[in-house]
Amino acid sequence: MKCHNHILFQILILTGATDGFVILLPLM
């Protein structure tokens, strides 16, 4: 779970705060 969260956080940083947040919202 922690590793998966870390990967999602990396994606958030790479795509940018706003774009990453839009991608993460449906996953949660």
pTM of this prediction? 0.36
The pLDDT tens digits of the residues spanning 5-26 come to: 788 788 777 777 777 677 777 8
Rg (CA), the chain: 8
Q: Which two tokens stand for residue 24?
A: 């993460």
CB atoms within 10 A of CB 8: 15
Q: Which two tokens stand for residue 15?
A: 């795509």
> What is the model's pLDDT at position 26?
81
